[in-house]
Structure 1
Amino acid sequence: MTPRFDGWAEKVRTTFGRQGMMQALSAEMTDLAPGRCKIAAPFPDRMRQHHGYAHAAVTFALGDTSAGFAALTLMEEADEVLTAEMKINLLAPAAGERLIGRGRVIRPGRRLTIVTAEVWAEADGREVQVALLQGTMMPVPG
């Protein structure tokens, strides 16, 4: 997959820096490539549900955001990205110290981009997949 303009990585990282939700989660973009994005975030007690696992909303936010920024890597320079629809399958309880979202583009398009994301929980250096997301992203004027 080929980005549509030089400077795509800087634009994506700058846009990520404006994400209030990701700031609230103390999330970091740890890897970025055309059509791919990896975001990691700790999940402290305030992000856990009543059984002590990361709340599903945190899992969804990380998967949706990593997939959205993967899509943004392939959009036009003037575009920003919005989620048109997203489905999540929760595969296992998210136990551990942090969550890792790995988003990727399945099929880029001018109007719609099909994406997927996997979310993993990391504990003691081991990862367990906790969610699989699939969705559609759309460009909007920036």
Structure 2
Amino acid sequence: MPNETLLNRVQQSFDRQGLMRHLDARLVRVEPGLCVVALPYSDKVTQQQAGFHGGAIGALADIAGGYAGLTTVPADMEVVSVEYKINFLAAFQGGELRATGHVVKAGRRVIVTTAEVIHIDADGKESACAVMQQTLVSVPKTY
């Protein structure tokens, strides 16, 4: 499937994500087996000490891995997360987070992905924030 077709498919699904709209997340890049999603810092994504909330970081990693997985299934299918495990490496405020999801193995039913989350500060400095491993399953598309 050409990259533009993949991008359109992922963008259409992404646009249906109420949580991603609420958090102001955006797609940055889509290729076969890869997806990059950005999350800007705002009061929508903070915890009590004004850092990015772990739930927002986890959601970003889940979305990046999930959409990387979506690029490997037929157009009449979607994917859903069965599980993920995330390690938080450092806390950050300001700037934005970028999660890069990669497909490790795409089977007919089960897909394993990873996602790396980095923080990019106002000066463009990149720092490791979190790493995730995820299991997805393909399901019929219902919309």
TM-score clears 0.5: yes
Category of TM-score, reference length = shorter chain? over 0.9
Provide the aligned C-alpha RMSD in A.
Answer: 1.6
| CA displacement, residues 28-73 of structure 1 (integer Å, 9 cap, x when unaligned) | 1011100000000112123211222100001000000000000000
| CA displacement, residues 73-106 of structure 1 (integer Å, 9 cap, x when unaligned) | 0111110110011000011112332111110100
Q: Which residue number corresponds to residue 88 of structure 1?
A: 86
Q: Which residue number corresponds to residue 10 of structure 1?
A: 8
Q: Which residue number corresponds to residue 37 of structure 2?
A: 39
Flag structure 1 segments of 5+ consecutive residues without an equivalent. Answer: none
Corresponding pairs, count:
139
The residue type equivalent to 1:131 in the other structure is: A
> Structure 2 CA distance, aligned partners of 1:8 and 1:88?
26
The residue type equivalent to 2:63 in the other structure is: T
The residue type equivalent to 2:105 in the other structure is: R
Q: Which residue number corresponds to residue 53 of structure 1?
A: 51
> Structure 2 CA distance, aligned partners of 1:9 and 1:56?
27
Q: Which residue number corresponds to residue 69 of structure 1?
A: 67
% identity of equivalent residues: 35
Flag structure 2 segments of 5+ consecutive residues without an equivalent. Answer: none
> Structure 2 CA distance, aligned partners of 1:94 and 1:134?
21
> Structure 2 CA distance, aligned partners of 1:16 and 1:71?
13
Instruction: State the TM-score, normalizing by the size of structure 1.
Output: 0.92
- Aligned CA distance change for structure 1 residues 46 and 12 (closer, same or farther; 3 Å): closer
Q: Which residue number corresponds to residue 107 of structure 2?
A: 109
Q: Which residue number corresponds to residue 77 of structure 2?
A: 79
Preserved contact between residue 25 and residue 43 of structure 1 (Cα < 8 Å): no
Deviant stretches of 4+, over 6 Å? none
Q: CA deviation at 1:129?
A: 1.0
Q: Which residue number corresponds to residue 139 of structure 1?
A: 138
